[in-house]
Amino acid sequence: MGAPVIILGVTGSIAAYKAADIASQLVKGGAKVYVVMTQHACDFITPLTMQTLSRNPVVTSAQDAQTNWKPGHIDLADRATLLLIAPATANVIAELAHGLAGNPLTEIALATRAPLLIAPAMNGKMWEHPATQANVSLLKTRGAEFVGPEAGILACGYEGLGRLATVAEIAIRALEKCGASATVRRAEKPLREKKRE
């Protein structure tokens, strides 16, 4: 059996920058990672960054996904061991719940039979809104799993539930769902300056 294929969906959240570290950890864990970004995700992190860390081309449009006669989103959907969406905005959660397919990520979500793991990131009021909670419940009844969100200080300045789960937690859950070894660094340590001599 070859390396698991993880489709990493990145959506338009301020937490999108953490997707770079998620991709890196998944690759280090032995997965083949293919990144699919929404147009809004590209406002927060570049496809080039994700391509470099995933070691594969990044899909941002239907044209990017087209490599041969077979539609690209179908090819990726067929190859996926897992579809991981991190970060997942309230908008993409709603699109997933209601079967909307307006971009390559949601098209892949409809076409794949791989498990779906979602790592939400949004304002706490958006997370707690009855519409979002109804969408989450609906997705869970279809077998989707969620990692996070966590409580803490949010990018909008509020404190509450809505922060993206840690990179390590997301990567470990994804690798475990694929049956890959979860050798991921648990703590995100700040860089330290070297002592001057």
Which of these is catalytic: 42, 94, 156, 161?
156
DSSP letter at 59 equals: B
Mark whether 156 is an active-site residue.
yes
What is the amino acid identity at position 138?
L
CA 140 to the chain's CA centroid: 17
| Short-list 145, 152, 175, 150, CA closest to 22 | 175
Q: Could you tell me the domains of the chain?
A: 5-178 (3.40.50.1950)
Per-residue pLDDT tens listing for the chain (197 residues): 689 999 999 999 999 999 999 999 999 999 999 999 999 999 999 999 999 999 999 998 876 655 555 666 788 999 999 999 999 999 999 999 999 999 999 999 999 999 999 999 999 899 999 999 999 999 999 999 999 898 877 777 777 788 999 999 999 999 999 987 555 555 444 433 344 43
CA 152 to the chain's CA centroid: 20
| Burial classification of residue 98, based on how many CB atoms lie within 10 Å of its CB (0-12 exposed, 13-18 middle, 19 or more buried) | exposed
Q: How many Å apart are CA 82 and CA 4, to the nearest integer?
A: 8
pLDDT at residue number 150: 86
pLDDT at residue number 159: 76
pLDDT at residue number 113: 96
Number of neighbours of residue 168 by Cβ within 10 angstroms: 17
Read off the pTM: 0.88
pLDDT at residue number 64: 61
